[in-house]
Amino acid sequence: MIPYSVLDLSPVPAGSTPAQALANTVDLARHAERLGYHRYWMAEHHNMTGIASAATSILIGHVAGATSTIRVGAGGIMLPNHAPLVIAEQFGTLATLYPDRIDLGLGRAPGTDQLTMRALRRGQQSADMFPQDVVELLSYFEPAEPGQQVQAVPGAGTHVPVWILGSSLFGAQLAAHLGLPYAFASHFAPDALEQAIEIYRARFKPGVTQAPRFMLAINVLGADTDEEAVRLRTSVQQAFVNLRTGRPGPLPRPVDDIRDVAPPELITQVDRALRVSATGSPEKVTAELSALIDRHRPDEVILTGQIHDHAARLRSFEIAAEAMKAIGARSGAEAG
């Protein structure tokens, strides 16, 4: 069975608060741990009233402290927003507090808008330094050399596992060059997915890891019936429409028919962006996850689902875990 994990943006549902969103994150993490999920990742976004995970490293520590076995990490930290030494210290501290449970996924996008980039003191050229910053950051997790003048304390010698995240070919090339695991953001930007996988696997050079390790991100919206799952999906569809029209906000409540609240051309665009998804009843989620895994052959999958109602979200991740176990059992039987 390939490992299956959770990507949680700590969504703030319409009518709720960031405090409740953070409480929901802890509840979902504990739920995921009981269900056998391998990792629980959170992502850095800024100035977005619908996402409560801006202080990502703090939230990772909070979730790690509220759980006991599941790996917890960033999917990801937007490294150009930070000095590599600061991130090494933060994640070195987390790895010291929670040994062998912390992951660090790195992206180069700002995770926000142009005005907020300036508030973060991020320069226009920051992303250009991403490869050098990744190499510098990796060095801080190695044991300190005699006479080394700048060290991450804690951090040195912790060997925090680092992943490159991306939605374009750049990340695939960098991960392959450095010999790092690679996670593709196919849950919202799947256009370059197949080409990125091909480049990563073909150009991979052993480095931090000895073999390529590819993680596929998939939206999962499971419910007891296909009809209810389609209804739940309208929240993330509306959120994408709002983002694309310059009106981001809390995660909208679901509606009976997305066509009542969004024009057809925008629905088409959004559904294209969300096409790496499994939506429906348990049987349909299992079939659609199986088809995606068969097509892309990931080493891991990371599942996400923006659902307004917390209880429905818990149920969706339960359905997804059952589906992954069924797929694993099927694969094991076929291999035998």
Q: Cα(105)–Cα(281) distance, rounded to whole angstroms?
A: 31
Triad 64, 69, 74: Cα angle to 5°: 45
Q: Cα(261)–Cα(248) distance, rounded to whole angstroms?
A: 15
Both tokens assigned to 199:
């480049």
Both tokens assigned to 244:
């694309």
What is the per-residue pLDDT for 122?
A: 65
The amino acid sitting at 334 is E
What is the per-residue pLDDT for 115?
A: 76
Query: Cβ distance 51 to 12 under 8 Å?
Result: yes
What is the per-residue pLDDT for 331?
A: 75
Report how far apart, in Å, the C-alpha atoms of 330 and of each of 171, 278, 297, 321, 335 are: 32, 18, 15, 14, 9
Both tokens assigned to 300:
């891991």
Both tokens assigned to 134:
């990744």
pLDDT beneath 70: ranges in the chain: 110-112, 121-124, 332-333, 335-336
What is the per-residue pLDDT for 333?
A: 67
DSSP H helices in 36-152: 56-66, 84-97, 114-119, 130-140
- What is the distance of C-alpha 278 from the center of its chain? 16
Q: Cα(27)–Cα(39) distance, rounded to whole angstroms?
A: 15
Both tokens assigned to 317:
């991740």
Length of the chain: 336
Question: Which residues are CB-neighbours of 35 under 8 A, at least 6 positions away?
Answer: 317, 318, 321
What is the per-residue pLDDT for 203?
A: 98
The topology under which CATH files domain 4-335 is: TIM Barrel (3.20.20)
Domain boundaries, the chain: 4-335
What is the per-residue pLDDT for 21?
A: 98
Both tokens assigned to 268:
């088409």
Crossing angle of helices 226-244 and 310-335, in 10° steps, is 110
Side-chain-side CA neighbours of 167 within 13 Å: the count stands at: 16
